[in-house]
Amino acid sequence: MSLLSIRDLSISFDTPRGMLEAVRHADLEVPAGASVGIVGESGSGKTVLSRAAMGLLHGSNVRSTGTVVFDGKELTAMTRVEVRKNFGTGMAMIFQDPMTALNPVRRIGSQISEGMIVQLGMDKKKAMARSEELLSLVRIPDPGATLRKFPYQLSGGMRQRVMIAIAIACSPKLLFADEPTTALDVTVQAQILQLLGDLRRDLGMAMVLVTHDLGVVAGNTDIVAVMYAGEIVERAPTRELFASMRMPYTEALLKSIPKIDMPSGKRLQVIEGRLPDPTDRPVGCGFAARCMYVQPKCIAEHPPLIHDGDDHLYRCWFPLEKK
Amino acid sequence: MAGSGTAHMRDSEDVILAVKDLVVEFRISHKHTVQAVSGISFDIVKGETLAIVGESGCGKTTLGKAILQLPPPNSGEVIFDGTDLTKLSREKLRAARTSMQMVFQDPISSLDPRMTVSQLIDEPLSIWDRGNSAERAEHINKLLNDVGLDPDIVLNRRAYEFSGGQCQRISIARSLALEPRMLICDEPVSALDVSIQAQILNLLQDMKDRYGLTLVFISHNLAVVKAVSNRIMVMYLGKVCEVGTPDAIYANPAHHYTAALIDSVPIPDPTRSVPTALLQGEPPSPVNPPSGCRFRTRCPAASERCVVEEPQLREVAPGQFVACHHPRS
C-alpha cells in the first residue's frame, strides 16, 4: 500500500474573477521510501497540489473534492489540529526560498529544536544536542557554532541545509521538497540534491520533489508526474518516461532545456504561447493551443488519462509513438 | 586558479570593449574591504557574445556594472570604442552610456510599476530628445513588435499586468530604444521558467543579429551560456580562472573549477550516472580571500605552490587560456 495516495483531487479558489481551478482530478501514489517528482511550469498547479497533499490549504475561498490518504489515515477528513499533529513526524516540507522560510530573529538552534520539543516532547537540552547532530548530518561545518547563529549569518546553501535539518528532525515518513534548489547556484544545487538523496536512503524516507526542471528530476526520482494547466498530463517511472515520452508537452519541455552537450550557438526549441487562463479552462486539451501536433479533436474533446501498461499514463488523443 | 594576467587579450581593430586590470572593492568597515573584482582583464570583439560565468558572490554582477561605471571601479581601465570610460566627465559618461545598456535579472522589479509600457520605453527617447512624439511612437511600436509583443495590447498597461517573460521582453525593448552597440545582460533568464527561458534566449539572439549588438551575458548556468556565447570567461572570487570558446571549454575544461561547474549541471537523462566528485563547501569570504590561487581551498589538485604563488593566465590550447599551476590535461 502506498504511503500517500491522492485520489481524484480537485482544488479551486473562489476569486473575484471567478472560480480558479488550480488542480483538476489529480491521482498520485507515493510508495513508502520512494521519490516522486512533480514537474511543471509556473502556474501548472504543482505547488497547490503538494500543499493540498500536506493539508496546508485552508480558508473560506478554497473548494476541494477528492481524497488524500496518508499512512492509512484520510487527511481530507481531519481537522486542522489533527493535521498539525502529523507535521514533522508524518510529513515535513522544505520550501523554495530558504531566505524567507526561516525566522530571522531566532537562532538556528532554537528553530531546529522547536519541532522536537513540540512534537516529540523532548526536553530543551536534549533537543539542542540532537540539533547539533542534525547539523552535522546535513554537512554543516562547525555545527556547534552554527546553532547560535541567526539566519542572516548563513549563505543560501547553508540556510537550505538548516531547513533540511528542521524538516528531518522528527524523522518524517515523507518529505515534500518544493523547488528546494531553484534559488541556489548549480554547484550548491548539486550538493543539496546529493544530500537529499543520501538522507532519503539512510532514513528510509519518501520524498516528493516539486520542480520546473526536468534535469533535476531525472537523477533524483523513481516516478515522475508532469503537470500542465492543473492536470497531471503524464506519469511514469522516471526511466520509462525519459526513454519514451508519450505526451507532446513533456517532449517540448525537455527540448526547451539548454543542454550542456548540445552544439554551441544552436537555436533552442521553444514552446510558443502561454498556459491557458486558470479561470477559463479550454474545453478540449489544455495544451492544444501550443501543441505542434494539434488536431480538431484536441480542441473539441478533453482527453482522458490513458494507461499504456508499464505504469505509464498520459492524457493525449494523439500520443507520440512508443519507443 | 583565479589568477591575473593578460595573455588572453587580443590585439585586433575589432575590439569594441577592453577592460584592463579592473579592481572593484567595497569598504564594509574601517578595517574590512570586500574584494569583489581583483584585477580582471578581458576584451570583446564587435558582434561577439562574451559569457561571464561563476557562482553567486564571484563578482560577475559587480564586473558587469563596473563596465558601465555603476559604480566606477577603484582602478583599471574600461576602454569602450577607443575611449576610457573611467576618465570621462560625468556628462560625457552619461552620453557614452547610451550606447551600452543593461538588462537585469528580475524583470518585474526592474520596471517602474507606475509607468505604462509606452512611458517606460519612451523615457530614454525623451531624455535624449530623439525625434518628435510621432516619430517616437512609431519607434516604440517597432521595438515592441521586434520583441514579440503586440503594441495595441500592451502600450497602456503596467508591469504588474505581465508575466515574467513578457516583462523581460519589455526590458529588452527598453534597453534597445537608444540603439545601443552593446548590451550587458545580467542573469536575464534565471528568474524564468525553462519554456520561457528558451523564448528569451532566442529573442536575445535575434535582437543581436537585427541590431548588430555585442553582448555580455552574465550567468551561473553553464548550459544556458553554451547555447548563446562565442567566448566564455569563468570567474571565481573576483579573479579569472579560464577563458576560451564554449566548445573547447566544455570538451576539455583546463581549470578544476570549470570542470566542477560543468559536472554540477543536472542532465535530463536518468541513465546518466550522478556525479560523485562534487565541489565541496562554499567559496571563502571575499573579505579575506586565500593567498596565492583563490580556488586552492576547494581544489582537488592544490599544492604548496598554489599557496604562495598566484597563477597567471596562459594559453593551454589555441584560444583557451587558464590560470592554474596544475591544469587538467
Give percent of chain A above pLDDT 70: 100
* CB within 8 Å: B278 and A256: no
DSSP reduced 3-state for A222:
coil
Q: List the single residue in A187, A259, A263 with the smallest CB-CB distance to B264.
A: A187
**Burial A281-295, CB ≥16 within 10 A → b, else e:** beebbbbbbbbeebe
Q: Is B223 on the interface with A (CB under 8 A)?
A: yes
Q: List the single residue in A141, A257, A263 with the smallest CB-CB distance to B194.
A: A257
Strand order in the sheet with A174-178: A91-94, A174-178, A206-211, A35-39, A223-228, A231-237, A313-314, A306-307
Residue type, A124: K
**Predicted confidence band at B3 (pLDDT cuts at 50, 70, 90)?**
low
**Chain A residue with minimal CA distance to B274?**
A219
Cis before B71? omega within 30: yes
Walk me through the domains of chain A, giving residue ranges and CATH numbers: 4-90+170-314 (3.40.50.300), 105-161 (no CATH)
Query: How far off is chain A from B274, nearest CA to CA, in Å?
Result: 7
Query: How far off is chain A from B163, nearest CA to CA, in Å?
Result: 10
Residue pair A235/A224 in contact by the 8 Å Cβ criterion: yes
Q: Is B281 on the interface with A (CB under 8 A)?
A: yes
For residue range B131-183, list pLDDT tens digits in order.
899 999 999 999 999 999 999 989 999 998 888 889 999 999 999 999 999 99
Mutation site for A-interface testing, chosen from B105, B108, B193, B262 by largest number of A Cβ within 10 Å? B193
Q: Is A237 on the interface with B (CB under 8 A)?
A: no
Residue A202's CB is within 10 A of a number of other CB atoms, namely 10
Q: What is the average pLDDT across B2-21?
A: 82
> Of chain B residues 249-278, which have a CB less than 8 A from chain A?
250, 260-272, 274-275, 278
Contacts of A253 in chain B (CB under 8 A): 194-195
Q: Which of A177, A213, A222, A193 is nearest to A29 (CA)?
A: A222
**Predicted confidence band at B277 (pLDDT cuts at 50, 70, 90)?**
low
Q: Is A323 on the interface with B (CB under 8 A)?
A: no
Alpha helix stretches (DSSP H) within chain A: 46-54, 80-86, 98-101, 108-120, 124-137, 143-147, 156-168, 186-203, 214-218, 238-243, 248-255, 296-300
* CB within 8 Å: A193 and B266: yes
Q: What is the average pLDDT across B267-285?
A: 77
Cα separation, B14 vs B81, in Å, equals: 9
What is the distance, to the nearest Å, from the Cα of residue A302 to the centroid of all Cα atoms in its chain?
Answer: 26
Contacts of A210 in chain B (CB under 8 A): none
* pLDDT for position B269: 87
Q: Is the pLDDT of residue A1 over 80?
A: no
Cα separation, A75 vs A232, in Å, equals: 21
- Please give the residue that has the higher pLDDT: either A99 or A148: A148
Residue A129's CB is within 10 A of a number of other CB atoms, namely 13
Cα separation, B103 vs B228, in Å, equals: 15
* CB within 8 Å: B270 and A214: no
Q: List the single residue in A41, A158, A191 with the smallest CB-CB distance to B193.
A: A41
* pLDDT for position B272: 79
Q: Is B149 on the interface with A (CB under 8 A)?
A: no
Cα separation, B14 vs B35, in Å, equals: 31
* CB within 8 Å: A260 and B195: no
> Of chain B residues 3-32, which have a CB less than 8 A from chain A?
none
Q: Is the pLDDT of residue A221 over 50?
A: yes
* CB within 8 Å: A271 and B269: no
Residue type, B294: R
Mutation site for A-interface testing, chosen from B195, B229, B276, B280 by largest number of A Cβ within 10 Å? B195
Give percent of chain A above pLDDT 90: 64
Q: Is the pLDDT of residue B104 over 60?
A: yes
**Predicted confidence band at B1 (pLDDT cuts at 50, 70, 90)?**
very low
Which ipTM was obtained for this model? 0.81
pLDDT, mean over chain B: 90
- Please give the residue that has the higher pLDDT: either B57 or B120: B120
Residue extents of the structural domains in chain B = 1-99+181-267+275-329, 110-177
Cα separation, B148 vs B169, in Å, equals: 8
Contacts of B264 in chain A (CB under 8 A): 186-187, 189-190
Cα separation, A225 vs A314, in Å, equals: 10
Q: Is A79 on the interface with B (CB under 8 A)?
A: no
* pLDDT for position A237: 95
Sign of the alpha-carbon torsion through A115, A120, A121, A125:
negative
Residue pair B242/B225 in contact by the 8 Å Cβ criterion: no
Q: What is the average pLDDT across A242-265?
A: 87
The CATH architecture of the domain made up of B1-99+181-267+275-329 is: 3-Layer(aba) Sandwich (3.40)
Query: How far off is chain B from A239, nearest CA to CA, in Å?
Result: 6
* pLDDT for position B276: 63
**Chain B residue with minimal CA distance to A43?**
B193
Query: How far off is chain B from A125, nearest CA to CA, in Å?
Result: 29
Mutation site for A-interface testing, chosen from B50, B60, B154, B194 by largest number of A Cβ within 10 Å? B194
Contacts of B272 in chain A (CB under 8 A): 218-219
Q: Is A321 on the interface with B (CB under 8 A)?
A: no
Strand order in the sheet with B75-80: B33-45, B15-27, B75-80, B83-84
**Chain B residue with minimal CA distance to A238?**
B270
Q: List the single residue in A213, A238, A261 with the smallest CB-CB distance to B266.
A: A213
Q: Is A26 on the interface with B (CB under 8 A)?
A: no
* pLDDT for position B275: 66
Residue pair B172/B215 in contact by the 8 Å Cβ criterion: no
**Predicted confidence band at B227 (pLDDT cuts at 50, 70, 90)?**
confident
For residue range A28-65, list pLDDT tens digits in order.
999 999 999 999 988 889 989 999 998 888 888 999 99
Cα separation, A178 vs B139, in Å, equals: 43
Residue pair B200/B165 in contact by the 8 Å Cβ criterion: yes
**Predicted confidence band at A266 (pLDDT cuts at 50, 70, 90)?**
confident
Cα separation, B245 vs B51, in Å, equals: 10
DSSP reduced 3-state for A228:
strand
For residue range B32-81, list pLDDT tens digits in order.
999 999 999 999 999 999 999 998 888 999 999 999 998 899 999 999 99
Across the strands, what pairs with B258?
A: none
DSSP reduced 3-state for A185:
coil
Cα separation, B18 vs B66, in Å, equals: 13
Q: Is A42 on the interface with B (CB under 8 A)?
A: yes
Q: Is B248 on the interface with A (CB under 8 A)?
A: no
